[in-house]
Amino acid sequence: MSDLESTNLKLLPRSLIAVGDVECALAQTRAGERVAILAPKGARLLADFEGETSEHAGKTLLLGPKSPRNAAALRSNISWLAPRPLGLRTSAGMGDRMGLATPGHVRAVRAVGGKIAPIFAQQSIREMARTGRSPQQVMDDANWGIFAEGWRDGVGADADHLKVPADIDACVAVGYSFYTIDPGEYVDHRAETMAFGDLRAAVDRLPWDKLEDSAKSMTARYLNKTLDIEGRVIRFGEVTLLRAAVKYGKAVAHVAAMYRHLAAKNIPFEFEVSVDETETPTTHAEHVYIASELKRLGVKWVSLAPRYVGRFEKGVDYIGDLQVFEDDFAVHAAIARALGPYKLSLHSGSDKFSVYPAAVRQTRGVVHLKTAGTSYLEALHTIAPLDPAFFRSIYVFARKRWETDRASYHVSAELARAPLPEKVADADLPALLDQFDAREILHVTFGSVLTAHNADGSWRFCDRLTTLLRDNPEAYAANLERHFLRHLKPFAGA
């Protein structure tokens, strides 16, 4: 028995660790979970933590809250808790919109033998705004889950879908290691249908100063050039070149500016470029253009998320022809090897079970899977049998919010196809999460559900939902582990 175990505190067994002559763990108390530190009197690290101290076995016992200060102190004193770059290893990001999912995520990664490099702290700025969370809260919630489960094999932390420099600043201050830049607002989809003359005029209007280039110089680099990439021929005719430049030129300039802003922070980081949340697929020539221009501007990135063919909708499997997807994806993977290497990233990757084998096969494991809302859906799956009436009320509310909340997503669910709440028996409520339309409706309305208030100002759903999950942590973790094993197993053999 360790000295900390002899305190008679109810310790979470996987959390107990020794760092030199200091022991740390999470303890379950009447006031909730607390961090417990047992150290020699006067130990330097004690000053990093806050909490109540007492004497035990000639040492100082500190019992403190799960506060930002204590989370930061753990990260600074326990090396494997601090996020770090993960390189080109097969990796997966597991977003958590409520801050309670990390234990289940850790168990799933551990169950596949640690063959996946994990990112447990991941939430987009848009999702943070919708749930009222901050980069600090997202980082700390994941930190406590990692600590509780005793994961020691390294983690990343994804500052996801950042759009402006201030987003970077907020995440650097907390210690994120992986920065996903979303230049979607700078992608010009009109290029897809512009006439030749309009394309020429649009090229002339590109921000050439920010691109450190000119239309003449760009044309000389690409026009009528043919690339043979692993036997796939990509040719830049004039229309192809102009269309790529008009569609993505401003986005490239924005990404380069964001990269330089981040690089000036002088921190270890990895960089991801995301153009997935756009209206039209990224062609192979456009992929070459994006990667070549970013390289010319000195940007270094570990992964890139093009907009793939077919539909990657939220929380449901891939919609489209799987063979067409694989044939198209294979060329993107070849480009990533030729111009990198860098990982291809699967955004909105939750529940895309049918495409995982092709993604692993074609990238040879140099791939990143990004999931988010599926963990929220597993939260609903957990509480549905525990409190059917409460879950039904969430579904009723979600249906009312659907038409408004769907506006910022590429989704195709229809309210008329989703089962009516009053027609579903209590025992059948969990099955709503397996019905395409109901699943997307519940997925997309998460922000409205988690921030809804009653007339008296109290939380309409969030408090009850959180309480049910906190009171039944093993049920939630088990559901997450089961669900994420389906996600991770195809990638673990890479």
Which residues span the domain enclosing 29? 5-77
Q: Do 14 and 145 fall within a single domain?
A: no
Residue percentage of the chain with pLDDT more than 90: 96
Judgement on whether residues 232 and 365 belong to the same structural domain of the protein: yes
Please indicate, yes or no, whether residues 240 and 124 belong to a single structural domain of this protein.
yes
Q: 165 and 24: one domain?
A: no
Domain stops at, among 27, 53, 77:
77
User: Does residue 463 lie in a domain region?
Assistant: yes
Query: Model confidence over 457-481: pLDDT tens digits?
Result: 999 999 999 999 999 999 999 999 9
**Which of 392, 66, 143, 339 has the alpha carbon at shortest distance from 227?**
339
The answer on 311 and 429 residing in a single domain is no
Regarding whether 351 and 238 lie in a shared domain, the answer is: yes
Residue entry with tokens 């062609």? 283
| Residue 17 falls inside a structural domain | yes
Average pLDDT over residues 195-210: 98
Active site residue 387: no
Overall domain count for the chain: 3
Judge if 333 and 393 occupy the same domain: no
Q: Does the pLDDT of residue 67 top 70, yes or no?
A: yes
User: Which residues, in sequence order, are bridge partners of residue 387?
Assistant: none
Residues 138, 227, single domain; the answer is: yes
Residues 60, 118 share a domain = no
Tell me how far apart the alpha carbons of residues 388 and 426 are, in angstroms, rounded to a whole number: 6
Per-residue model confidence (pLDDT) at position 408: 82
What is the distance between the alpha carbons of residues 148 and 103, in angstroms, rounded to a whole number? 7
Over residues 408-412, mean pLDDT = 89
Query: Residue 198 falls within a domain, yes or no?
Result: no
- How confident is the model over 256-276, as pLDDT tens digits? 999 999 999 999 999 999 999
Rounded Cα distance, 426 and 432, in Å = 11
Shared domain check, 416 and 354: no
Question: Considering 77, 112, 133, which residue would you say is the last residue of a domain?
Answer: 77
Query: Is the pTM value of this prediction over 0.95?
Result: yes
In a domain, 482, yes or no: no
Question: In this predicted structure, what is the pLDDT of residue 78?
Answer: 95
- Tell me the average pLDDT of the chain: 97
CB within 8 A of 202, min separation 6: which ones? 188, 190, 191, 194, 242, 246
Cα angle: 437, vertex 438, 441; to 5 degrees: 85
| Catalytic member of 96, 127, 160, 328 | 160
Cβ count near 280 (within 10 Å) = 14
| pLDDT tens readout for residues 331-350 | 999 999 999 999 999 999 99
In this structure, what CATH number is given to the domain that contains residue 255?
3.20.20.70
Per annotation, catalytic residue among 33, 158, 272, 437: 272
Q: What is the C-alpha to C-alpha distance for residues 166 and 168, in angstroms, rounded to an integer?
A: 5
263 and 406 inside one domain: no
Please check whether residues 42 and 183 belong to one and the same domain.
no
Calpha distance 434→443 (Å, rounded): 12
The residue among 77, 107, 131 that closes a domain is: 77
**Which amino acid, one-letter code, is at 479?**
N
Identify whether 212 is a catalytic site residue.
no
Please report whether residue 491 resides in a domain.
Answer: no
